[in-house]
Structure formats: C-alpha cells, structure tokens
C-alpha cells in the first residue's frame, strides 16, 4: 500500500460517493485552508489505482511547538479525521489499511516529537482508533445523537419515536401564523449574530468567524447547505437554523437560539420543517439521518434526547504526557478551547 500527499483536485477524485463528513468535501477543505494559518496536508492511501484511505490534517507552528489538528479549531467543524474505503469487505483488510494509514501519516508528520501537539476528531462511523493508541496517542470517545430517518416517507413517521411533548409542539406548525422558509447567505449571517449573542451569555468564544461562514456557504455547492428562517407575518425574524448536508446526513449545525412564538418553541417548528424536507424532498433522497451535532454538553442533552436519536460514538485522538498537557494548556490560551 502506498501513502501519498494529494492536491485538492486529486482529493476530489478520490473521495467516495458516500460515507464521509460534510467537511471532507474539497470545497469545504479549501475554505478551511484559506481561513487557517496552518498548512493543509491531504493524505491518500492507495492499493494500485484504488483509493483505500484518506486523511486531511492541518499543520501549524506555534511559539509552544508544532500543532497537528484535524479539524482545525475555532471554525465550527464537528469532526474530520480518517476515511477508510477498502476494496474488500473483510475486516482484516479494513484493519490493515487503517493501521498502515495511521502509521504512515504519523511518521510523515513526525507526530512523535515532544514539541508536537496532535489532536484529531474522527468521523461518526469510524470505529477503530486503536492504531493511534498503539502509536502512543490517547483515545477518548465523545458522542452525538443521530435521528434515524431511513425508510421514513412523511413527517409523522419521522416523529414516531419523539417525546410526546416534542411531537405535540411540532404538530402546531399549522396552527401558528409563523412562516418558515429557506433563505440565503444574508439570513445565515443574521443567524450567526444570534448565535454569538447566545455564546456570550455563557462566556464562550464564537464557534467561527463571520467571514469564514460567508465564504463557506458561498463556496459549497447549494446541495450542501440550507438556511431555515422563521418569521412573523410582518417579516420579523424569530429564529433560524443553518443546516449542512453530506451524502448521508443532515447536520443541525448552527442556530436554534431559544425563541417562543404564540407559546410554541420556534426551534421545534424549525426542526419539524427540516425533518419534513429530509423525508419528502427528492433532492435529499440519500440522506438517512439528522445529526444533532453533539451529545456531550449536559445542559443540551435533555432537549436533544427528546428526538430519540441513536447515541453514536466518535473518537478524539490526541497527544498525551506532561509535555503535551503543558503545550495544550498554552495552545488553548492562544487558540481557544479544544472542545
């Protein structure tokens, strides 16, 4: 098996049709690269002409040493990391590719150096981070909720497992004089301002910059994102959600700041509209799940749990040891919290 560095055009050719996160999209990677001080390195594993593995990383030099991250920080990217696409269904082949890709990339990056901080958040569905542990990195699970929509043909089927209170609220969409519609980038930037205000209430940094959000939506294909906005009859903004799409998943990405209209949660009505589009819009036929993007913050899980989503693990791989704890502490102060 050969492991090579790739250009974005080659990455696009190698990316599988399904089974990747939205930020593995080459257009998304290009925007991340443009807004990051780090060097984007794209690795591909090949068996003959067959692409069997992919891994994007961002390499940066700081005063405290080198950092290698996937995804980059402070851009609202939930997960990135490795993709394994064997040309055989056998488990041992998958494991061999996974192990050789990990070892080859870590060696090329010289990730074992004491002054290097490595952190990678793997995709949902990537179930074997052991090779990174075998290379002296720590591995910890985190979680997200994914609402299973496979086989659903209408909104009632999609809501079947939801809590009674959530179903009742969602069904009130027809009873309130609230319009939920898809809008464009200007509306997304308004949602961003809403989100920044909410983060400030918890003394947290914004999840990304406004120029990054604008460039991301301007660059991605229209099929990769939708902006859902709820407005009163006079056009007054109530709330909104920016939804991203991979081939397999819709992502509750940004927005959803708490709002009430006529004693109904506006966000529940937004989610209902998004879910209904996923199960009825032919353009979203391949999407089989709604990723609520995180089940790691206790104060948010009580609400997200009402959707009866499947709790899906994903893995965070990072450097360990005293030197790395000190480096991480310094890097956090410079670049924001490593969440």
What is the tens place of the pLDDT at every residue in 168-177? 999 999 999 9
Cα(243)–Cα(225) distance, integer angstroms: 6
Model pTM score: 0.92
Q: What is the pLDDT of residue 242?
A: 98
Helix (H) or strand (E) holding 264: strand 264-265
Closest by CA position to 267, among listed 186, 195, 200, 189: 195
Cα(145)–Cα(72) distance, integer angstroms: 22
pLDDT tens sequence across 205-227: 888 999 999 999 999 999 999 99
In contact, 262 and 178? CB cutoff 8 Å: yes
Cα(50)–Cα(14) distance, integer angstroms: 9
What tokens were used for 62? 């700081």
Average pLDDT, the chain: 92
Closest by CA position to 212, among listed 25, 29, 35: 35
Mean pLDDT of the region 23-51: 96
Q: Over pLDDT 70: what percentage of the chain?
A: 94
pLDDT tens sequence across 98-140: 999 999 999 999 998 888 999 999 999 999 999 999 999 999 9
Q: What is the pLDDT of residue 209?
A: 95
The residue extents of the domains of the chain are 2-137+319-335, 145-312
Beta strands 249-255 and 289-291, pairing class: parallel
Q: Which residue has the higher pLDDT, 229 or 86?
A: 229
Cα(167)–Cα(171) distance, integer angstroms: 6
Cβ neighbours, 10 Å, residue 68: 23
Cα(317)–Cα(69) distance, integer angstroms: 10
Q: What is the pLDDT of residue 339?
A: 36
Helix (H) or strand (E) holding 91: helix 91-109
Cβ neighbours, 10 Å, residue 172: 17
Q: Is 258 in a helix, a strand, or coil?
A: coil
Cβ neighbours, 10 Å, residue 292: 22
Cα(203)–Cα(152) distance, integer angstroms: 40
Burial annotation 208-230 (CB, 10 A radius, 16+ → b, else e): beeebbbbbbeebeeebbbbbbb
Mean pLDDT of the region 292-301: 92
Cβ neighbours, 10 Å, residue 152: 19
Mean pLDDT of the region 178-201: 94
Is it true that domain 145-312 has CATH number 3.10.180.10? no
pLDDT tens sequence across 232-275: 999 999 999 999 999 999 999 999 998 999 999 999 999 999 99
| CATH-assigned architecture of domain 2-137+319-335 | 3-Layer(aba) Sandwich (3.40)
DSSP per-residue string spanning 196-255: HHHHHHTT---SS-HHHHHHHHHHS-GGGEEEEEEE-TT--EEEEEEEEE-SSEEEEEEE
Closest by CA position to 192, among listed 219, 221, 215: 215
Tell me if 2-137+319-335 shares its fold with 145-312.
yes
In contact, 189 and 147? CB cutoff 8 Å: no
Beta strands 116-121 and 310-318, pairing class: antiparallel
Q: Comparing 22-31, 168-177, 330-339, which segment has the lowest mean pLDDT?
A: 330-339
């Amino acid at each position: 098996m050969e492991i090579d560095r790739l250009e974005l055009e080659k990455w696009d050719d190698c990316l599988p049709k399904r089974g990747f996160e939205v930020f593995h999209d080459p257009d998304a990677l290009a925007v991340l690269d443009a807004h990051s001080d780090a060097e984007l390195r794209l690795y591909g594993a090949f068996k003959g002409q067959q692409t069997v593995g992919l891994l994007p990383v961002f390499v940066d030099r700081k005063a405290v040493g080198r950092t290698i991250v996937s995804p980059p920080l402070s851009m609202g990217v939930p997960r990135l990391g490795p993709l394994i696409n064997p040309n055989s269904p056998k488990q041992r082949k998958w494991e061999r590719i996974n192990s050789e890709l990990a070892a080859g990339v870590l060696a090329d990056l010289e990730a074992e150096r004491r002054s290097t901080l490595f952190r990678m958040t793997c995709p949902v569905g990537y179930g074997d981070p052991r090779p990174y542990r075998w290379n002296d990195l720590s591995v910890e699970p985190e979680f997200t909720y994914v609402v299973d929509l496979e086989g659903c043909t209408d909104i009632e089927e999609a809501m079947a497992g939801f809590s009674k209170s959530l179903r009742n609220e969602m069904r009130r969409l027809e009873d309130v004089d609230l319009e939920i519609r898809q809008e464009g980038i200007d509306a997304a930037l308004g949602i961003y301002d809403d989100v920044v205000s909410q983060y400030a209430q918890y003394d947290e940094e914004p999840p990304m910059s406004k120029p990054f959000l604008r460039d991301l939506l301007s660059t991605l294909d229209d099929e990769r994102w939708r902006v859902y906005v709820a407005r009163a009859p006079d056009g007054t903004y109530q709330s909104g959600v920016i939804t991203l799409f991979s081939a397999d998943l819709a992502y509750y990405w940004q927005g959803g700041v708490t709002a009430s209209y006529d004693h109904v949660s506006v966000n529940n009505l937004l989610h209902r509209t998004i879910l209904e589009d996923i199960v009825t819009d032919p353009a979203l036929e391949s999407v089989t799940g709604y990723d609520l993007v995180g089940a790691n913050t206790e104060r948010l899980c009580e609400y997200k749990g009402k959707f009866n989503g499947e709790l899906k693990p994903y893995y965070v791989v990072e450097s360990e040891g005293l030197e790395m704890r000190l480096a991480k502490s310094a890097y956090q102060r410079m670049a924001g919290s490593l969440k």
